[in-house]
Amino acid sequence: MITTPASLTLSDEERAVLSGARGPAPQLAMRIVVRMARILGARELVPVASAHIDGCLHHGDGGVEFAERLVSLGGKVAVPTTLNVGALDLLHPRRVRSAGHRREMALRQMRAYEALGCRPTWTCAPYQAGHRPRRGQDVAWGESNAVVFANSVLGARTNRYGDFMDICCALVGRASRTGLHLAEHRRATVVVDTGAINPVLKERDVFYPVLGTWLGATVDERVAVVTGLPETVTEDQLKAMGAASASSGAVGLFHVEGVTPEAPDLAAALGGQAPDTVLTAGARELRRVRDALSTTGTRQIDAVALGSPHFSREEFSLLEELLPREPFGIPFYVCTGRAEVRRLEASGRLARFEEAGVEIVADTCVVVAPILPTRGSVLMTNSGKFAHYTPATTGYDVVYGSLEDCVRSAATGRVTRDEGLWS
């Protein structure tokens, strides 16, 4: 092993990459990875088994130029790498109102990442497209919901790698051994007790974005273990909870006692130590959080959007059972990965959704691309993440409700919600 300044130790292989032995693109990437490791105070780098890239979404021309620079230098990812959403729906080009320079640059950025050897999954839920690292495996993932899902539900180890650190880690197969890559930083220090919540409510999907929103706002980046949830909690419910917690706060990892892989019991989640804090999630408090997810009290809505994180096959099955005989009265969008679109096509089920007026959006979503009607002003959703980001990114107000609420409301264009379980 060779030691560099700032107490960072590099292996001979890592030093060779830094000196250009594998070419200019890995050299540039390693320079950035090493610089960040020193800033973070890492003592060494950790090999990563895979990466998920958030930097493929167009926010400005600098991102295009960076990706194309890596391509021009001969860059190729060193580990299996999937891609987050882009700014275009490549399967349904007319879904996104984008033209001219902006569309050209968004497309160039997406194509550049493909040229780097990344898998064109174009989804914020790569775990639904077969990218599922093993428990204890170190990875370098971007996209906040994907990060918290990988850490919490799969038991893999990653920090939140932003643009464009994610692709640098992918090119060299290394990341800083800091944060959630370290076992001592993964133990829970906060216990969240949900025992006072109506057990019937905890069986419902609508509960989990609300709990996640409360969790993120309450614990921020601390690691919590949630007790009192049913052992039957589904992967989609944990997905929704994690996405909301990462949007409302900075949660990168949570545990659920008896459910998630690092929390077979409370003692294991706490690493055998006493918690720093014990919190109780109360029914009234969660009701206030649920109400705050809506930014307007209007009864009229202009569109419904589901699928943040991207809709899974199980969620499509739930929606299919609720579809009305007549088409929806307002635009009804479902955002999903292209892998799920292909499954619907192969099974012959896609036509049923189209008949009901469902507009399936792939490769992107309504909060990062101009898709929603230009004359609308109120969006209804069952997603805590959509509820958090929609007002700032689209100008729409938001009404939050369950999947069933969204379907019923879309039939008439007026809000219909089941308040019974929240009373």
Residue 364 to residue 195: CA distance in whole angstroms: 38
Instruction: Confirm or reject CATH 3.30.499.10 for domain 295-417, answering yes or no.
Output: yes
Residue 133 to residue 140: CA distance in whole angstroms: 11
What percentage of the chain carries pLDDT values higher than 70? 99
Token output for 40:
């973070």
pLDDT, residue 6, reads 52
Q: What is the DSSP string of 214-240?
A: HHHHHHTTS-EEEES--TT--HHHHHH
Q: Measuring CA to CA, which residue among 98, 122, 95 is closest to residue 358?
A: 95
Q: What is the DSSP string of 52-99?
A: EESTTS-SSHHHHHHHHHHHHTT---SS-EEE---SS-SSSGGGS---
- Tell me: pLDDT of 330 over 80: yes
Please give, one letter per residue, the 3-state secondary structure of 120-163: CCCCCCHHHCCCCCCCCCECEECCHHHHHHHHHHHCCECCECCC
Q: How confident is the model at residue 127 (pLDDT cuts 50, 70, 90)?
A: very high
Q: What is the average pLDDT across 178-201?
A: 97
Q: Which residue has the tokens 């409700």?
A: 401
Q: What is the average pLDDT across 295-307?
A: 97
Distances (CA, A) of 381 to 209, 367, 410: 11, 12, 10
Question: Which residues have a Cβ under 8 Å from the Cβ of 178 and sit 6 or more positions away?
Answer: 37, 40, 41, 42, 159
Peptide bond connecting 254 to the previous residue in cis, omega within 30 degrees of 0: no
Q: Do domains 2-180 and 295-417 have the same CATH topology?
A: yes
Residue 421 to residue 403: CA distance in whole angstroms: 15
pLDDT, residue 166, reads 98
Q: Measuring CA to CA, which residue among 200, 193, 179, 250 is closest to residue 226?
A: 193
pLDDT, residue 29, reads 98
Q: How confident is the model at residue 418 (pLDDT cuts 50, 70, 90)?
A: confident
User: Please, where are the H alpha helices in 249-294?
Assistant: 266-269, 283-292
* Domain range 2-180, CATH class: alpha beta
- Tell me: pLDDT of 128 over 90: yes
Q: What is the average pLDDT across 405-421?
A: 93
Q: What is the average pLDDT across 6-33?
A: 96
- Tell me: pLDDT of 3 over 50: no
**H or E segment to which residue 335 belongs:** strand 332-336
Q: pLDDT tens for residues 267-286?
A: 999 999 999 999 999 999 99
Residue 214 has φ and ψ, to the nearest 5°, of: -60, -45
Residue 240 to residue 207: CA distance in whole angstroms: 9
Token output for 374:
């230009």
* 255 neighbors 225 (Cβ within 8 angstroms): yes
- Tell me: pLDDT of 5 over 60: no
Amino acid at 310: H
Q: How confident is the model at residue 338 (pLDDT cuts 50, 70, 90)?
A: very high
Residue 301 to residue 104: CA distance in whole angstroms: 33
pLDDT, residue 376, reads 86
| Domain spans, the chain | 2-180, 187-291, 295-417
Peptide bond connecting 309 to the previous residue in cis, omega within 30 degrees of 0: yes
Q: pLDDT tens for residues 388-409?
A: 999 999 999 999 999 999 999 9
How far is residue 248 CA from its own chain's centroid?
13
Angle at 209 between CA 203 and CA 211, to 5 degrees: 75
Q: pLDDT tens for residues 210-266?
A: 999 999 999 999 999 999 999 999 999 999 999 999 999 999 999 999 999 999 999
What is the pTM for the complete model shown? 0.96
Residue 290 to residue 267: CA distance in whole angstroms: 31
pLDDT, residue 421, reads 78
Q: pLDDT tens for residues 52-87?
A: 999 999 999 999 999 999 999 999 999 999 999 999
Other beta carbons within 10 Å of 416: 17
Question: How many Å from the N-terminal Cα to the C-terminal Cα in the chain?
Answer: 62
State the burial class of residue 184 (Cβ atoms within 10 Å of its Cβ: 0-12, 13-18, 19+): exposed
How far is residue 408 CA from its own chain's centroid?
27
Please state, rounded to an integer, the average pLDDT across all residues of the chain: 96
- Tell me: pLDDT of 2 over 50: no
Higher pLDDT, 376 or 253: 253
